[in-house]
C-alpha cells in the first residue's frame, strides 16, 4: 500500500510539473503575441496599409508555422501521456489490490466497532437523561429571571415617567416665573409678595432639581442592573441552545432506537403467537398416524409397517420432522450466508468510510439471539449423511423429542429474526431463489462474453493482428479527435486575433481622423496663427514688411543713409522733404508691424493663461472631489460613531433599570409622592410609554431590515445553488452521452475486428 501511494504521488508530481511548464509556455506565447501586437500597432500608426498587409501576411505565415510546430509537439506529448497513463493504470491495479486487503481488515474491525457502538448507545442514554434534567433546571431558572426582568422593566418605566413629569413641572414653573417678570405693574404693587414668591419658586426648583438628580441616579442604577440581568439571561439562553444542539441528535437517535425496539417487540409477539400455533399443531399431530412417512423412513431390519408399536411410530414421525427441520435450517443458513456475502460485496463496492453505522447485525438482544441460534445450530447440526450418534441409535423418549423440537423451533425463529432484520436494514425484500438465479444468469453471461473475447483474440491472432493493435487504433482515433478539437480551438484563437487586428485597424483609423481634426483645428485657431518671418541676407525686416504691405518703391538702406545725411544738414530741399515723408511712412509701418507682433504675443500669452486656468480648474475640481470624498468618509464615520454611542446609551439604560428597581421603591415612598399629583404621574407614565413604543418601533424596524437583507442573501444563495445544480446536471448528461458514444464506438470496433 505504501509503495503504491508513493508511485501515485510521484506521478501526480510529474503531472503537476508538466502542467506548470505548459502554463509557463502558454504565458510566454501570450507575451510574445502581445509584444507582436504592440509592434503591429506602432507600425500601423507609422506605416501605410500595404506595409500592414505585408506584416499581417507574414504574421499569419509565422502563426501557421508555429501551429504546425505546436501540433508536432502536442503529438509527442500525447505519446508521453499515453505512457504515463499506462503507468497510472498499473498503479491503479496495485492500489485496488491494496484496497481489497484493507477491506478485509475493515471487516475484522467492524465487529469491534459494533461492540463500541452498543456501549456508546448506553452512555448516550445516560447522558440524555442527565441533559434533560439540566434543561429542566435551566428552564425554571430562565422563567424566574424573565419574571424578575419584567418587574424591573415596569419599575424603570414608572420611574422614567415620574422624571418626565418632574421635568414638565419645572418647565411650567419657569414659564410662570417668566410671565411674572413680563408684568411689572403687578410686581410693583406688592413688592414683598413677589420677593417671597420668587424665593419660594427658587427653593421649589432646587428641590425639584435635587429630586431629578436622585431619580436619574436611581434610573442609571436600575439600568445597570437590568443590563446585567439581560447578560445573564443571554448567557443562559446561549447555554440552553448549546445543550439543545447536543441533545437533539441524541433525542432523534433515541427515538429511532425506541421505534426499532417497538418493531422488534411486535415481531417477537407475532413469533410467539406463531410458536403457540405450531406447538398446538404439534400436539394435534402427535396423536395422528403418518404411515407414509413411517414407511419411507424405516431403518430397522424388518420393513413391515405393522411390526411397529404406537410409540415407535410416533418417534419415527418426530424423527422425520427433525430431518425436515434440519433441511430447512440448512437452506436458510445457506441463504443467510449468501445474503451476507452479497451485502459485504456491495459495501466494498460502495467504498464506505470508517464511520460506525448501524448494520444488519442488530443490537444487543439481536446479537444474543443470533449467537443462540448459531449455538443451537452447532448442537443440532446432524445431517442425514453424518454417522448417527449413540443417542440416535437408542430409542428416543417423548421428553427428549420435545426438547429437540423446542431447540429446532428456537433456531428457526432465530433465523427468521435474522432474515427480518436483514430485510429491514437493507430496505429491500430479498428473495434468495431469485438472487441465486440472477447470479447464475450473470455468471453464465460473463462466461459467454469471455468465450467470445477469447474467440475474437484467436481470430485476430490468426489474421496476424493483436489486441494491442486494436487498442492503439482506438487510442489513435481518440488522439485524432483531440487534435481536431485543438485545431478548432486554434482556429477560434486565430479568429479572435483577426477580430483584435480589425479592432486595432478601426482604432488606427479613428486616431488618424482625430489627428486630421486636430490639425484642422490648429490651422483654424486664431491664437496659433502666427507665422515667423525668415529674413534673407541683404534685406532688412522693414523692407520685406513694406513689400508685403504693397510699398515697393522705398529702399530702406538708402533711406537710412539719406536720413543720416539729413541729420547733418539743417537746410532741407524738396527731395529732402520727400525723403523725410517716406521715412515717416516707413516708421508708421514699422510701428504697425510691431503692434501686430505685440498682439500675437498677447494672444499667445492669453492662450497660455487659459491653459493654466483650465489646469487650475481641474486641480480645484480634483481637490473639491477629494474634499467631498473625505467629507463623505467623515460623515460615514460620524454616523457609525453615533450608532455606537446610541447603542452604548441603550446598554447603559438597560443596566440602570435594575438599579432603579432596587432604589426606586424607597424614593417612591418618600417625598416624591408628596409633591407629584395623580395627573402628573399619569403624564409621566404616558410619556414613558410613548418613549418605550418609539424605541421598540425602531428596534423592530432595524430587526426587520436585517431580516430582509438576510432573506435576500439567502434567496441569492439558493438561486446560485440552483444554477450550479442545473450546470452539474447538464455536465452529467453530457458525460453520459459521451460514454454512450464511446461504448457504441467500442461495440462497432469489436464487431469489425
Closest by alpha carbon to 363, among 248, 263, 251? Answer: 263
Give me the half-sphere count of Cα atoms (radius 13 Å) on the Cβ side of residue 480.
Answer: 6
| The three grid cell numbers given for residue 752, joined into one nine-digit string | 469489425
What's residue 382's pLDDT?
Answer: 42
What sign does the dihedral 434-440-441-442 (CA atoms) show? positive
Query: pLDDT digits over 627-662, tens only?
Result: 765 665 676 567 666 666 666 666 666 566 556 655
d(CA 161, CA 139) in angstroms, rounded, equals 33
- Can you point out the beta strands (E) in 280-352? none
| The three grid cell numbers given for residue 635, joined into one nine-digit string | 460623515
Please check whether residue 628 lies inside any domain of the structure. yes
> Is residue 208 within 8 Å of 163, Cβ to Cβ?
no
What's residue 353's pLDDT?
Answer: 44
| The three grid cell numbers given for residue 451, joined into one nine-digit string | 468465450
Of 631, 663, 695, the position where a domain reaches its end is 663
Rounded alpha-carbon distances, angstroms, from residue 428 to 314, 342, 343, 431: 42, 13, 12, 9
d(CA 121, CA 250) in angstroms, rounded, equals 9
CB under 8 Å to 5, separation ≥6 — which residues? Answer: 95
Please check whether residue 552 lies inside any domain of the structure. yes
Please check whether residue 305 lies inside any domain of the structure. yes
d(CA 321, CA 326) in angstroms, rounded, equals 8
> How much is the pTM?
0.19
d(CA 374, CA 381) in angstroms, rounded, equals 10
Please check whether residue 95 lies inside any domain of the structure. no
Residues of the chain with pLDDT under 50: 1-2, 183-192, 289-308, 351-396, 526-533, 665-669, 671-675, 752-753
Of 408, 430, 452, the position where a domain reaches its end is 430
Q: How many CB atoms sit inside 10 A of residue 335's CB? A: 19
Q: Are 296 and 423 found together in one domain?
A: yes
d(CA 85, CA 589) in angstroms, rounded, equals 97
Q: How does 269-285 read in b/e, with b if 16+ C-beta sit within 10 Å?
A: eebeeeeeeeeeeeeee
| The three grid cell numbers given for residue 571, joined into one nine-digit string | 537746410
d(CA 107, CA 100) in angstroms, rounded, equals 11
Residue 656, beta-bridge partner list: 223
Closest by alpha carbon to 289, among 268, 320, 252? Answer: 320
> Could you give the 3-state DSSP secondary structure of residue 183?
coil
What are the φ/ψ torsions at residue 531 (nearest 5 degrees)? Answer: -115, 125
> Is residue 575 within 8 Å of 559, Cβ to Cβ?
no
d(CA 299, CA 203) in angstroms, rounded, equals 130
Please check whether residue 221 lies inside any domain of the structure. no
What are the φ/ψ torsions at residue 281 (nearest 5 degrees)? Answer: -60, -35
d(CA 56, CA 61) in angstroms, rounded, equals 9
Of 415, 430, 445, the position where a domain reaches its end is 430
Q: What is the DSSP string of 578-631?
A: HHHHHHHHHHHHHHHHHHHHHHHHHHHHHHHHHHHHHHHHHHHHHHHHHHHHHH
Residues in the chain: 753
Q: How does 368-387 read in b/e, with b if 16+ C-beta sit within 10 Å?
A: ebbeebeebbeebebeeeee
Maximal C-alpha separation, the chain: 197
> Structural domain tally of the chain?
2
Instruction: Please list the alpha-helical segments (H only) found in 189-299.
Output: 191-286, 291-296
CB under 8 Å to 338, separation ≥6 — which residues? Answer: 432, 435, 436
What's residue 701's pLDDT?
Answer: 77
Please check whether residue 327 lies inside any domain of the structure. yes
Q: What is the DSSP string of 480-520?
A: HHHHHHHHHHHHHHHHHHHHHHHHHHHHHHHHHHHHHHHHH
d(CA 2, CA 8) in angstroms, rounded, equals 10
Residue range of the domain that includes 353: 289-430
What's residue 503's pLDDT?
Answer: 74
d(CA 416, CA 278) in angstroms, rounded, equals 15
Please check whether residue 370 lies inside any domain of the structure. yes
* 656: enclosing H helix or E strand: helix 574-669
Please check whether residue 155 lies inside any domain of the structure. no
CB under 8 Å to 540, separation ≥6 — which residues? Answer: 556, 557
Q: How many CB atoms sit inside 10 A of residue 254's CB? A: 16
d(CA 261, CA 272) in angstroms, rounded, equals 16
What's residue 104's pLDDT?
Answer: 73
DSSP state of 302: -
Q: What is the DSSP string of 45-66?
A: HHS-HHHHHHHHHHHHHHHHHH
Closest by alpha carbon to 402, among 282, 276, 285? Answer: 282
Closest by alpha carbon to 377, among 327, 341, 322, 329? Answer: 329
d(CA 166, CA 209) in angstroms, rounded, equals 9
| The three grid cell numbers given for residue 417, joined into one nine-digit string | 429474526
> Is residue 424 within 8 Å of 363, Cβ to Cβ?
no
Amino acid at each position: 500500500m505504501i509503495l503504491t501511494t508513493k508511485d501515485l504521488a510521484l506521478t501526480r508530481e510529474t503531472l503537476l510539473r508538466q502542467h506548470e511548464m505548459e502554463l509557463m509556455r502558454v504565458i510566454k506565447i501570450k507575451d510574445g503575441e502581445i509584444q507582436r501586437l504592440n509592434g503591429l500597432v506602432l507600425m500601423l500608426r507609422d506605416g501605410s496599409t500595404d506595409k500592414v498587409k505585408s506584416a499581417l501576411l507574414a504574421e499569419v505565415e509565422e502563426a501557421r508555422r508555429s501551429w504546425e510546430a505546436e501540433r508536432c509537439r502536442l503529438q509527442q506529448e500525447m505519446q508521453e501521456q499515453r505512457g504515463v497513463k499506462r503507468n497510472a493504470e498499473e498503479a491503479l491495479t496495485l492500489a485496488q489490490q491494496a484496497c481489497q486487503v484493507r477491506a478485509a481488515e475493515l471487516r475484522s474491525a467492524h465487529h469491534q466497532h459494533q461492540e463500541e457502538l452498543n456501549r456508546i448507545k448506553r452512555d448516550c442514554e445516560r447522558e440524555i437523561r442527565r441533559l434533560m434534567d439540566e434543561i429542566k433546571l435551566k428552564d425554571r431558572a430562565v422563567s424566574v429571571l424573565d419574571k424578575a426582568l419584567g418587574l424591573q422593566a415596569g419599575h424603570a418605566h414608572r420611574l422614567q415617567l415620574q422624571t418626565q413629569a418632574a421635568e414638565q413641572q419645572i418647565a411650567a414653573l419657569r414659564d410662570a416665573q417668566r410671565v411674572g417678570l413680563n408684568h411689572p405693574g403687578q410686581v410693583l404693587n406688592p413688592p414683598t409678595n413677589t420677593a417671597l414668591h420668587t424665593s419660594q419658586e427658587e427653593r421649589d426648583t432646587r428641590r425639584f432639581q435635587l429630586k431629578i438628580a436622585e431619580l436619574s441616579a436611581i434610573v442609571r442604577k436600575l439600568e445597570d442592573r437590568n443590563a446585567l440581568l439581560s447578560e445573564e439571561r443571554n448567557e443562559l439562553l446561549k447555554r440552553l441552545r448549546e445543550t439543545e444542539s447536543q441533545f437533539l441528535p441524541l433525542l432523534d437517535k433515541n427515538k429511532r432506537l425506541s421505534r426499532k425496539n417497538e418493531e422488534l417487540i411486535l415481531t417477537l409477539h407475532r413469533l410467539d403467537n406463531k410458536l403457540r400455533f405450531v406447538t398446538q399443531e404439534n400436539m394435534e399431530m402427535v396423536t395422528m398416524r403418518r404411515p407414509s412417512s413411517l414407511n419411507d423412513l424405516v431403518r430397522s431390519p424388518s420393513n413391515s409397517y405393522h411390526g411397529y408399536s404406537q410409540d415407535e411410530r410416533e418417534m419415527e414421525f418426530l424423527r422425520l420432522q427433525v430431518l425436515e427441520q434440519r433441511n430447512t435450517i440448512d437452506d436458510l443458513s445457506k441463504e443467510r450466508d449468501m445474503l451476507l456475502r452479497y451485502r459485504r460485496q456491495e459495501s466494498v463496492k460502495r467504498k464506505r468510510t470508517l464511520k460506525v453505522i448501524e448494520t444488519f447485525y442488530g443490537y444487543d438482544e439481536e446479537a444474543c439471539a443470533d449467537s443462540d441460534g448459531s449455538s443451537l445450530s452447532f448442537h443440532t447440526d446432524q445431517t442425514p449423511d453424518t454417522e448417527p450418534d449413540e443417542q440416535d441409535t437408542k430409542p428416543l423418549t417423548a421428553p427428549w423429542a420435545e426438547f429437540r423440537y423446542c431447540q429446532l423451533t428456537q433456531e428457526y425463529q432465530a433465523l427468521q429474526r435474522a432474515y427480518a432484520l436483514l430485510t429491514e436494514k437493507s430496505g429491500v425484500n430479498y428473495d434468495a431463489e431469485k438472487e441465486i438465479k440472477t447470479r447464475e444468469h450473470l455468471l453464465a453471461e460473463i462466461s459467454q462474453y469471455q468465450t467470445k473475447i477469447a474467440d475474437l483474440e484467436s481470430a485476430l491472432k490468426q489474421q496476424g493482428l493483436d489486441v494491442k493493435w486494436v487498442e492503439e487504433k482506438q487510442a489513435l482515433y481518440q488522439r485524432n479527435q483531440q487534435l481536431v478539437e485543438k485545431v478548432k480551438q486554434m482556429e477560434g484563437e486565430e479568429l479572435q486575433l483577426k477580430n483584435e487586428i480589425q479592432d486595432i485597424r478601426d482604432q488606427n483609423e479613428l486616431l488618424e481622423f482625430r489627428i486630421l481634426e486636430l490639425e484642422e483645428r490648429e490651422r483654424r485657431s486664431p491664437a496659433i496663427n502666427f507665422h515667423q518671418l525668415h529674413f534673407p541676407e541683404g534685406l532688412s525686416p522693414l523692407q520685406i514688411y513694406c513689400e508685403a504691405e504693397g510699398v515697393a518703391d522705398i529702399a530702406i538702406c538708402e533711406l537710412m543713409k539719406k536720413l543720416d545725411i539729413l541729420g547733418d544738414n539743417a537746410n532741407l530741399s524738396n527731395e529732402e522733404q520727400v525723403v523725410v515723408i517716406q521715412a515717416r511712412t516707413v516708421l508708421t509701418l514699422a510701428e504697425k508691424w510691431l503692434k501686430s507682433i505685440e498682439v500675437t504675443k498677447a494672444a499667445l500669452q492669453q492662450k497660455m493663461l487659459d491653459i493654466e486656468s483650465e489646469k487650475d480648474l481641474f486641480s480645484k475640481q480634483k481637490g473639491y472631489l477629494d474634499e467631498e470624498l473625505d467629507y463623505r468618509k467623515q460623515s460615514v464615520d460620524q454616523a457609525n460613531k453615533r450608532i455606537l454611542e446610541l447603542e452604548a446609551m441603550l446598554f447603559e439604560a438597560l443596566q440602570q433599570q435594575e438599579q432603579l428597581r432596587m432604589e426606586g421603591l424607597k424614593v417612591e415612598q418618600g417625598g416624591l409622592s408628596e409633591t407629584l399629583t395623580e395627573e402628573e404621574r399619569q403624564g409621566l407614565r404616558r410619556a414613558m410609554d410613548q418613549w418605550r413604543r418609539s424605541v421598540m418601533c425602531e428596534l423592530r424596524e432595524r430587526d426587520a431590515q436585517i431580516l430582509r437583507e438576510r432573506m435576500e442573501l439567502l434567496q441569492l444563495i439558493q438561486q446560485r445553488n440552483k444554477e450550479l445544480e442545473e450546470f452539474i446536471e447538464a455536465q452529467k448528461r453530457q458525460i453520459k452521452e459521451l460514454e454512450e458514444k464511446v461504448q457504441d464506438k467500442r461495440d462497432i470496433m469489436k464487431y469489425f475486428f
